[in-house]
Structure 1
Amino acid sequence: MKPSAFEYHAPETAEHAIALVAELGDDAKFIAGGQSLMPMLNLRLAVFDHLVDLRKPVELRGIERRGDRMWIGAGTTHATIGRSAEVADAVPLLARATPLIGHFQIRNRGTLGGSLAHGDGAAEYPVVASVLDAEIETLSPRGRRTVPASQFFTGMWTTALAADELLTGVLFPAWTGRCGFAIEEFARRKGDFALAGAAVAVRVDAEARIDRCAIALFGVGPTPVRCSVLGSELLGRNITEIVAEDVGREALSALTTVSDDLHGPAAYRRRLATTMVTRAWRRAAEEASR
């Protein structure tokens, strides 16, 4: 399949890209790495008269430590993130999620901003942003704003971004202290989207009591699912006394709806997700305990 005809634009700056989309209206669409958008265009699941390419604006790329947070430009590729020693040190969960994304060709072209803006509920970067309480920076003709990850993903392939709004960067908190991070997923083939997965971030104090905890699921619904109640219930408990299998069961007990499609029935996905949470918790807890 081939996409329908479109006019190609390659602005030099983010401001110019915003102005173009504002001028062209609903017939225009931003394109970053194109690893999600181009297949949709080729299959005619989406049609646009204008594509505004974001590969030229240098202000959309980069990795920079900003106090207790790590800023990553929206145009930064998965491969660049995966190679960054700074990311591995400050945001290890993001570094560990990166090799799970597609294949190396996809990671060479795909971008952080593209993944988040696409908002696939089975993708790795959205769940990492949710678990780490990332803040997503945007630019539009109305100015700049910052959207918490908890409010950014709104439905299947939909986000809080307006049609004329550009995702410019992401701020990830850099956890310090005795921390553990893990992401686990199950896919039919390496590189496929996960049928179910889980991400965990946990921190303990000097007595091994949990003082910070976040657990989220992906691949089980249209958006990442943060297990906020469970995370709160685990606070203050000694991490060595928590049974990983109990965490897995509790995470799924509060989930009322699970995706049911041709890739896997809801009951199967629920069992997979329970196992993924159990594995991720065990790995993260062992790391924090060390």
Structure 2
Amino acid sequence: MSLNSSPTSKTTPSYETPIPIPPDLTQSLVLSSPRLHRLQQDLLVLTSFNENSTLHWRPSWFAQDPHAASFWTLYNPPNVVTELLPHKKLGRLVYTRRMRREGDEEPMYVKSWEQWERMCDLRGVPRGWLGEEMIGLMRLGLPRDLKGNLVEPPTFPLYPEPQPPNRGRYILSPSTYTTHLPTKFHNICLTAADVEDMQVVIVHSNGALVIEPRFEYFLHTSQWTHYSGTGGYLNDARYVPDPDVVKEQGIGRRWSWVPWTTEQEESCCGLLVKLKVRVGRARGGRGL
């Protein structure tokens, strides 16, 4: 069925949620439940991007294989609309979702429940991920002032999109360290007389940001491959690793005002550094 066909008169179906969402929910109750809080953060991340945006990352409660090998696209069900959160002039645009109201424009992409179910099944997306209960849970976590009005979300720090679980890590471009990341990542060793002493921030597939030796990545698999354009990797046999050039990502990835994973949130709190251990003889002439 084409995604451009006319809307259907089918009533709103009922879909399961990843975990039970209690009625009369409050943010205090959400914060007291690690599972509910993580689900809320997942929803805040996903709904912060405009409809028809593409992502690599998938929450753990989405189907993974084989879908995690390629990008997926954010769409709304027919009864949900996208809206902008408050922002400064020329500021960063952050979106959210709400239930459709009378007078809203017609859906732009998914216009019927049949289309929604077909799209979800093709992409491994739970049919109920933007149901009314999920929207309610998500909106409890939106930034508000003392009067309860929505306000602009934090613009610093921001958190980089990881690969899907177990789908590889990547080097985060140093150009983003001071402009996007928490201050703990601002003073790492980016230049040194010995290339083995240089450091970079690595985004692991569980979301964790770790300071690691840059040298190790010259012979990493990622240096012998390139992105296929659909979220995967292709062999690049003609590529020769260059000590002065490593494949970095950063500006082109999605960035969120909410950590993408619990591991990412924890890694941004304490100082997590992977040290290089030299094996053999030290430069001074004595073995280590």
> TM-score category by the smaller chain?
under 0.3
In the superposition, the TM-score normalised over structure 1's length comes to 0.23
In the superposition, the TM-score normalised over structure 2's length comes to 0.23
Report the structure, 1 or 2, having the larger strand content: 1
Higher relative contact order (CA 8 A, sep 6+): 2
Report the structure, 1 or 2, having the larger helix content: 1
